[in-house]
Amino acid sequence: MTEIKTNRNHKDSVFTRLFSEKSNLLELYSAISGKNYPESTNIEIVTLSDVLYMNQINDIAFVLEDRLIVLIEHQSSINNNMPLRMLHYLSAEYDMIVDRKSLYKQKKIMIPAPEFIVLYNGDKKFPNYKELKLSDSYNFKTPDLYLELVVKVYNINKGHNANMAVKSPVLSGYGEFIAQIKKNLKSMDLREAIKLAAKACISKNILVSFLERHSSEVENMLLREWNMDEALAVRYEEGREDTLEETAKSMLKEGLDIVLIERITKLPQEEILALR
């Protein structure tokens, strides 16, 4: 499979690594959109790697034909602030795409139309499909809605959106792999759960090439993803004598994700960034 050129400064997850392969990404977006994109379709990954956005907003952002698509995979509860976060991210993407000097010219600048997608893979009950809207965060409702942003959330757990899974065997295989890990965790530690899940999938001809080529990377990425929230929560509970600011500073020095720091310390992102 052809792997799309990506910015390796962006910390990969298993999801980003799997769907950075062009054929996999085309298959996935075809399943989501209901269209069939041929292998010849041009795709450019434009995921931002700036420290403010790293691991904060999305897994993959890509331009396909005339669309700018921001794609996220979530394994925890859905953040209702996602539309606002997406708005910040979109602004940064357009800032990268458009030459600022051209903003002052009379000729209209054409930009790719945005689309925002979240694939939910968490344990909490969630519908097959849900839309999160920026307007739901407005202080008051006005009949004249001048700015809206819609995030489309799909549940990709086994038993949900079966038609999407049929159209994308890679997505179905990824869901099977994650589900197997969760099942194994009931009777073993995380590392062993990942290893046995990979072996089980390979024996069933699921994600064989990917799991064999990236076995050690997959294990390390999943260990980091699964352990991060738990480790931060434990450390915060043990260090309550420290001020929230000191805790946040320590986490920043270690290069931890802004959103995780916000969730653990309850400090606004603006205050956390000001501590740099």
* Each residue's pLDDT expressed in tens, for the chain with a length of 276 residues: 344 444 444 456 888 889 988 999 999 999 999 999 998 999 998 887 653 443 444 578 999 988 999 988 876 677 788 898 889 889 988 988 888 888 888 889 999 999 999 999 888 889 999 999 999 989 887 778 889 999 999 999 888 999 998 999 999 999 999 999 989 989 988 899 999 999 999 999 999 999 999 988 898 888 877 765 555 555 555 554 456 777 778 777 766 667 777 766 778 877 888 887
**pLDDT at residue 158, rounded to an integer:** 82
The span from the CA of 257 to the CA of 251, in Å, is: 8
Query: The whole model's pTM is what?
Result: 0.75
Token representation of residue 222: 């999943």
- Domain extent listing, the chain: 14-167
| Closest residue by Cα to residue 223 from 165, 171, 272, 181 | 181
pLDDT score, position 237: 52
Please state, in angstroms and rounded to a whole number, the distance separating the CA atoms of residues 223 and 20.
Answer: 20
Confidence at residue 215, expressed as pLDDT on a 0 to 100 scale = 86
Which is it for strands 67-74 and 60-64: parallel, antiparallel or unpaired?
antiparallel
How far apart CA 66 and CA 153 sit, in angstroms, is: 22
- Residue 208: its pLDDT value, please? 95
Pair type for strands 43-45 and 60-64: antiparallel
Q: Residues near 261 by Cβ (< 8 Å), separated by ≥ 6?
A: 232, 248, 251, 252, 267, 272
**Predicted local distance difference test score (pLDDT) of residue 56:** 46
pLDDT of 225 reads 75
